[in-house]
Amino acid sequence: MNKTLYKVIFNKKRGAMVAVAENTLRDGKSNADTTGGSVHLNGSHTLSGSLNPASPTARLGTLSFSLLLAAGTALIIAPAAVSPAYARKITLISTDKGVGINNAGQIFAAAGGIILSADGKIGNSGSIVAADKASVSTADSAAIQIKSHSLDNSGSISAQGKANIGAQSLNNSGLIASANELNIRNQNSLNNSGQLNAARLDVVSGSLSNTGRISQTGLQNLAINAKQVDNRNQGLMGYTPADAGGGNNTGSGSGNGSGNSGSNPSSGNTTPPSSATGGGSTTTAPAPATPTTLADGQITVSGSLLNDKGQITANGETNLNARNGLVNQAQLNLNQLHVSGDLLDNRSGVIHAKSADIRSHTLDNRGGQISSTDTLSVNNQRTDNRGGQILSANQADLYSNILDNQDQGGIAAGKALAITADGLDNRNGTVVAGQTLSVTGRRIDNRSGSMDAAGTSISTENLDNSNKGAIRSNQTLHINASGSLNNRNGQLSSAGQLDINDDARQTLAVDNSGGSILAGGDARIQSRSLSNNGTVAAGRDLAIALQDSFTVEQDIVAGRRLSLSTQGSLNNPHTLQGGEAVTLQAAQIDNHASGKIQSGGRTEVTAVHNIGNRGLINSNGGTVVRAGEVIDNLGSGKIFGDHVALGGSVLNNREETVNGATQAAVVAARQRLDIGAKEIYNREGGLLSSEGSLAIGGALDAQRNRCLV
């Protein structure tokens, strides 16, 4: 027999406490030498005194406590008057069904381990300490091994090495700590209102309810896997923020020998306490001052994980996998987040993660915040982000059938942001991307909302950007819409290029009444119609291609070249201007008396049928006016240029009386005038003039705009 071990076995049928090691037993005031056998308690209920090895050379010290056999159902270790249970290794085993172990004193193993095994319930309101860290290589050689039907701990259980706990149910309102690994296998429920603390956590449970603190102190990652996760009432999962407080580690244990010790095993010592009366603080095993790095920890829950006012923290990175939904109305600080199931409820909650993958049917983030430092992915049927924030420092992808970002909701990414939604409601919301923004959806409502990015691409059937809505880009803004674009009192702008089109389907209706469409570089609008009682301008080239007739309701200006074409008629009572060139094409063109068509280099006005001019058509270079049928330059009409070329079947250049005032039309060239027409009527004060050459013929040369005589 190994004389360095102390082992006691209780058998309910025999009503006996069996001492298996070589010990000295004292029952009452008499001594019994049990060196060569065992001791049976026949009719006795209390066993107290000293247990010592017979061999002086293998002497372990004094093991002194009280043993109470309560109605044959439990082994109770109560406080003794002399000293706690103290030995190199302690083993307490109850093999009979339903018989448990209750410890209200102190059990201290200095050099070996502690094994507690009972078919019934193990209760600990005292302290259980294993100070030896020699045998910590496997769970089977753990410093503390506890196996029972249920474990109820309101005291402290502390190990320098590994701690291995197996129970169908575990209730902890005290402290369970390991300087190495805490291994918990729990089939039913784990309820923690106290502290679970270890360098590495390895917890597998049917369900977990935490209102206390669960901490992994090692530097490795922690994986949390659960069917459902509920984190609320100031609960915290992941790392502890720097401003979260001063590290309050007070325990919540009560009863004899439990006290209010800290959660870190380093607060203990290897010297046993002098008594087990429970009047002072508990003893815990010492731990390294510097956190260690072990294999990644895990908390695996097959059912639900409830973290109500609790904390689950790790020095390393924490990964959370919720397979059937997550409720968070507190704070999660994670490395990786994976959520599936019916609902992620983050109302007024905070989720920080390095990367997040959300695949729940519904994401409710009203008033909440979800942020990632790397990638953020949302793929679901409905996202409600009213008043909430969905943020990524890197890249974010949101795919949702319905995405509601109203009421100061915010969606942002430091780099690329992609949003795909059948319906996106961004009224009074913000969408921001540091690099590219891609928005795809059948209906996009940005009334009073804003979208900002370096490069923005929008593909939709209907886009409503009215009522001070703003879509802005630092580089490019591309909008592809097949139905309607409502920009009434809204803003569409790009510091670089801007493009609005319907892929030449001629189905898009653009309403820019009171709005602005602006580009610092080039701009293109291709649509069926354009209502423009607003501003359209480009710093470089501006091209507008329409199917329906178009009336210019505000000045349209391009810094370099302006191109405006329509398959209907063009009516211009305002200014159409290009810094270098203006090109107009329509079925019919009417330039009103207040209208100006002018450029710094070349102006071309072309109509399939007729051109009527009562305003100004001018250039500082070449001016070309072509009509398939008639050119009417009437009354106040003026056509100027260095080289002026007029081509049509008929040219009418005559005076006109309007409101009692008569004016005569003028065509004047500073260098050359070419007129190609079958019929020319210059009458009633009309003037055809050239300071250089004048050529008249039946048609104009298509290449050089000169007369073919």
pLDDT tens for residues 91-114? 888 766 767 888 998 888 877 788
Query: Does residue 76 carry a pLDDT above 80?
Result: no
Q: Name which of 223, 233, 226 is nearest 339 in CA terms.
A: 226
Instruction: Quick: pLDDT tens for 398-433.
Output: 999 999 999 999 999 999 999 999 999 999 999 999
Q: Lowest-pLDDT range, 205-214, 425-434, 639-648?
A: 205-214
Query: Does residue 38 carry a pLDDT above 60?
Result: no
Q: Name which of 55, 61, 49 is nearest 22 in CA terms.
A: 55
In a domain, 31, yes or no: yes
Query: Does residue 632 carry a pLDDT above 80?
Result: yes
Summarize the confidence of residues 605-620 as an average pLDDT: 97
Tokens for 248, please give them.
Answer: 């309050």
In a domain, 188, yes or no: no
Most confident of the following: 157-161, 281-285, 579-583: 579-583
**pTM assigned to the model:** 0.80
pLDDT of residue 75: 57
Query: Does residue 262 carry a pLDDT above 60?
Result: no
Q: How far is CA 61 from CA 69, 160, 346, in A?
A: 25, 20, 57
In a domain, 220, yes or no: no
Query: Does residue 533 carry a pLDDT above 90?
Result: no
In a domain, 50, yes or no: yes
Tokens for 94, please give them.
Answer: 């109850």
Q: Are 694 and 700 in contact (CB under 8 A)?
A: no
Domain final position from 51, 74, 97: 74
Q: Name which of 179, 121, 174, 173 is nearest 146 in CA terms.
A: 121
> What SS3 state is found at 15?
coil
Question: What's the CA gap between 514 and 527, in Å, rounded?
Answer: 19
Select the more confidently predicted residue: 67 or 669.
669
Query: Does residue 385 carry a pLDDT above 80?
Result: yes
In a domain, 697, yes or no: yes
Helices and strands (H and E) in the chain: how many: 0, 66
pLDDT of residue 236: 80
In a domain, 213, yes or no: no
CB atoms within 10 A of CB 290: 6
Select the more confidently predicted residue: 679 or 228.
679
Query: Does residue 149 carry a pLDDT above 80?
Result: yes
In a domain, 65, yes or no: yes
pLDDT of residue 708: 66
The letter for the amino acid at 119 is D
Q: Are 314 and 320 in contact (CB under 8 A)?
A: no
Share of the chain above pLDDT 90, in %: 55
Select the more confidently predicted residue: 580 or 21.
580
Query: Does residue 485 carry a pLDDT above 50?
Result: yes
Query: Does residue 44 carry a pLDDT above 50?
Result: no
pLDDT category at 165 given cuts 50, 70, 90 is very high
pLDDT of residue 709: 56
Question: What's the CA gap between 492 and 518, in Å, rounded?
Answer: 6
Query: Does residue 640 carry a pLDDT above 90?
Result: yes
Summarize the confidence of residues 507-533 as an average pLDDT: 96
Tokens for 565, please give them.
Answer: 């074409």
pLDDT of residue 133: 64
In a domain, 152, yes or no: no
Summarize the confidence of residues 48-63 as an average pLDDT: 31
Question: What's the CA gap between 611 and 569, in Å, rounded?
Answer: 10
Structural domains of the chain, count: 2
Mean pLDDT of the chain: 81
**Residue 569 belongs to what domain range?**
549-709
pLDDT of residue 674: 94
Residues forming a β-bridge with 690: 669
Query: Does residue 88 carry a pLDDT above 90?
Result: no
Question: What's the CA gap between 390 and 383, in Å, rounded?
Answer: 10
Question: What's the CA gap between 589 and 597, in Å, rounded?
Answer: 11
pLDDT category at 59 given cuts 50, 70, 90 is very low
Domain final position from 32, 56, 74: 74
Domain final position from 74, 108, 123: 74
Question: What's the CA gap between 624 and 585, in Å, rounded?
Answer: 12
Residues forming a β-bridge with 153: 124, 172
pLDDT category at 313 given cuts 50, 70, 90 is confident
